[in-house]
Amino acid sequence: MSALTVQPEKPEFSVRQAARDQVQQWSDNCQKFLDWQQREILGPHPPAQQKIEQHRDDLKWLLRFGRAIYMTASDPDYPDKQISSELRGRLIQLEHSWRMVHQQMPEAEAEQLLKEVFPEASLSGT
């Protein structure tokens, strides 16, 4: 008598699912980056210049990669519109991070803006 081995059937390969998996992995990496940013850059202690440079470099790569994927996913012929929406949401978060950390308003400009909007207030408390 011979033993018959039954192999489990492999699911069919889906390019759509592969794309979704890649977007999910990128999105998970974005969340890890944002969590790190909260701890190391926006935390209670001023970050070292090395951390700011690391943030800048890492964020540039996340933005580049995300924009490249988004360009494909936002094509009108791309079949999964949900991927495009997810990517756009993450890109908005990353672009906000860039502005918040690397394009801060100079203190003198912030002071002037506060004086215009709230004449009785200022950053220096005077």
Tokens of 33: 């980056």
Residue among 105, 102, 10, 115 nearest 53 (CA): 102
Q: How far apart are CA 60 and CA 94, in angstroms?
A: 9
How far is CA 83 from each of CA 32, 43, 61, 75, 88, rounded to the nearest angstrom? 19, 31, 19, 11, 9
Query: pTM of the predicted model, to two decimals?
Result: 0.73
Q: How far apart are CA 84 and CA 20, in angstroms?
A: 10
Q: What is the CA radius of gyration of the chain?
A: 23
Task: Read off the pLDDT of each residue in 38-67 and give the average, rounded to a whole number.
Answer: 96
Identify the band that residue 1 occupies on the pLDDT scale cut at 50, 70 and 90.
low
Q: How far apart are CA 32 and CA 36, in angstroms?
A: 6
pLDDT tens-digit series, residues 13-47: 888 888 889 999 999 999 999 999 999 999 999 99
Q: Which residue has the higher pLDDT, 10 or 23?
A: 23
* Contact (CB, 8 A) for 62 and 33: yes
pLDDT score, position 3: 60
Q: Is the pLDDT of residue 126 over 70?
A: no
Q: Is the pLDDT of residue 11 over 70?
A: yes
